[in-house]
Amino acid sequence: MYLGSRPEEAATLAAWAQELEQQFHIRTWALSVDLAASDGPERFHAAVREIGRPVDCFVNNAGVLYYGMFAALSLEKQVEIVQVNVLAHMKLLHLFVGDMVQRKAGRIWNISSVSAFQPSCHHAVYGATKAFIQSLSEAAQEELRGTGVTVCTLNPAYTDTAMIHGEGFPKRLWWFDVSGVRTPEQAARQGYRAFKRGKALCITGWQNRLIHTCLIRLTPRKLMAVLSYWLLQAKPSLND
Phi, psi dihedral angles at 213 (to 5 degrees): -115, -20
For residue range 207-218, what is the model confidence (pLDDT) as tens digits?
Answer: 888 988 888 888
Confidence class for position 239, pLDDT limits 50, 70, 90 = low
DSSP line for 175-194: THHHH--B-HHHHHHHHHHH
CA distances from 234 to 81, 203, 224, 229 (A): 21, 24, 18, 10
Domains and CATH numbers, the chain: 55-231 (3.40.50.720)
- 72 near 174, Cβ under 8 Å? no
Report pLDDT digits (tens) over 11-44: 999 999 999 999 999 999 999 999 999 999 999 9
